[in-house]
């Protein structure tokens, strides 16, 4: 699998993110492990051009400050699972400078999102769609409703058709989902759904297109710790299989186009 060219903007994004002040512990370890994904996501966020309003669904306050500090959005909002109608205030620190955001609570696959039609410039749904239990198209269509015409939806998610997934299926020992484990239950831990359904890059494209979006960017990238599975790319090529979009991480940028048709329940995604 050819290595993707590394652009200066990706290095700049990592440099920005390293300014996030995090104490030693699990949250910092998670952040450093996922730094390449977070940096790539930031490079896909377009610079603010119109209203300056951006929403991060599933907000962890890791890339959130940089949507303002580096991408130029003047109104940064977050959202997280919780009782609809409630809001939280969360604070992050970047090189000692505090950044505060309002986090709206609701169910992303059931509730009407608390934002007016056509009022947001960009929406991020990062590492979220694979956790949805019932209705992923609800998320896509609500994002379409609240985005302005020509606004961007950015979705990131693991790729169930990655080289790692292929290797796991052929070996037959491990689950092909990139993340298939349940979290150990802890009395004080918040409830969080595991990966319910991971998508191929092509399925993700089809899901978002079904919501009336035009795909602007669709790419996958490898995860460094899974590089042992890279030779599977040669196996696929030598045996006549599609070897495109086989990285472990998928990124999609889509543009709202009101003239495009909507399919509420795509047949590949929903049963009767």
Structure tokens at 26: 């699990």
Using DSSP's 3-state secondary structure scheme, residue 152 falls into strand
Cα 241 from Cα 235, distance rounded (Å): 8
**What is the 8-class DSSP label of residue 20?**
B
* Cβ proximity of 184 and 153 under 8 Å: no
Using DSSP's 3-state secondary structure scheme, residue 197 falls into coil
Residues paired with residue 88 on neighbouring β-strands, in sequence order:
103
Name the pairing type of β-strands 213-221 and 249-256: antiparallel
Structure tokens at 21: 């002040």
Tokens 């505060």 belong to residue: 100
**What is the 8-class DSSP label of residue 207?**
H
Structure tokens at 242: 């599609």
pLDDT of residue 109: 97
pLDDT of residue 2: 54
Residues paired with residue 56 on neighbouring β-strands, in sequence order:
78, 124
Residuewise pLDDT in 10s, the chain (272 residues): 555 556 899 999 999 999 999 999 888 999 999 999 999 999 999 999 999 999 999 999 999 999 999 999 999 999 999 999 999 999 999 999 999 999 999 999 999 999 999 999 999 999 999 999 999 999 999 999 999 999 999 999 999 999 999 999 999 999 999 999 998 888 777 677 899 999 999 999 999 999 999 999 999 999 999 999 999 999 999 999 999 999 999 999 999 999 999 999 999 999 98
In the β-sheet with 75-80, what is the strand arrangement from edge to edge?
87-94, 97-105, 75-80, 53-57, 120-126, 147-158, 249-256, 213-221
Structure tokens at 83: 């009782």
Read off φ and ψ for residue 251, nearest 5 degrees.
-130, 135
pLDDT of residue 162: 98
Read off φ and ψ for residue 64, nearest 5 degrees.
-55, -50
């Amino acid at each position: 699998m050819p290595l993707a060219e590394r652009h200066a903007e990706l290095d700049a994004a990592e440099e920005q993110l390293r300014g996030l002040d995090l104490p030693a512990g699990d949250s910092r370890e998670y952040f450093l492990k996922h730094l390449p994904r977070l940096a790539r996501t930031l490079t896909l966020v377009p610079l603010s051009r119109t209203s300056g309003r951006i929403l991060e669904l599933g907000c962890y306050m890791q890339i959130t400050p940089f949507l303002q500090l580096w991408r130029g959005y003047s109104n940064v909002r977050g959202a997280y699972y919780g009782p609809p109608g409630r809001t939280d205030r969360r604070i992050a620190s970047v090189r000692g400078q505090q950044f505060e955001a309002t986090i709206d609570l609701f169910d992303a696959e059931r509730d009407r999102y608390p934002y007016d039609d056509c009022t947001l410039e960009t929406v991020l749904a990062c590492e979220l769609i694979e956790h949805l239990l019932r209705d992923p198209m609800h998320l896509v269509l609500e994002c379409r409703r609240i985005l302005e015409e020509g606004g961007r939806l950015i979705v990131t998610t693991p790729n169930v058709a990655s080289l790692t997934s292929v290797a796991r299926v052929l070996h037959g020992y491990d689950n092909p989902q990139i993340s298939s484990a349940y979290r150990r239950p802890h009395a004080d831990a918040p409830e969080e759904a595991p990966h319910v359904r991971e998508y191929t890059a092509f399925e993700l494209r089809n899901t978002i297109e079904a919501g009336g979006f035009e795909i602007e960017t669709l790419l996958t990238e490898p995860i460094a710790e899974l590089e042992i599975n890279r030779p599977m790319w040669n196996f696929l090529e030598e045996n006549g299989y599609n070897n495109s979009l086989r990285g472990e991480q998928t990124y999609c940028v889509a543009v709202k186009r009101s003239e495009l048709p909507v399919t509420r329940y795509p047949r590949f995604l929903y049963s009767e």
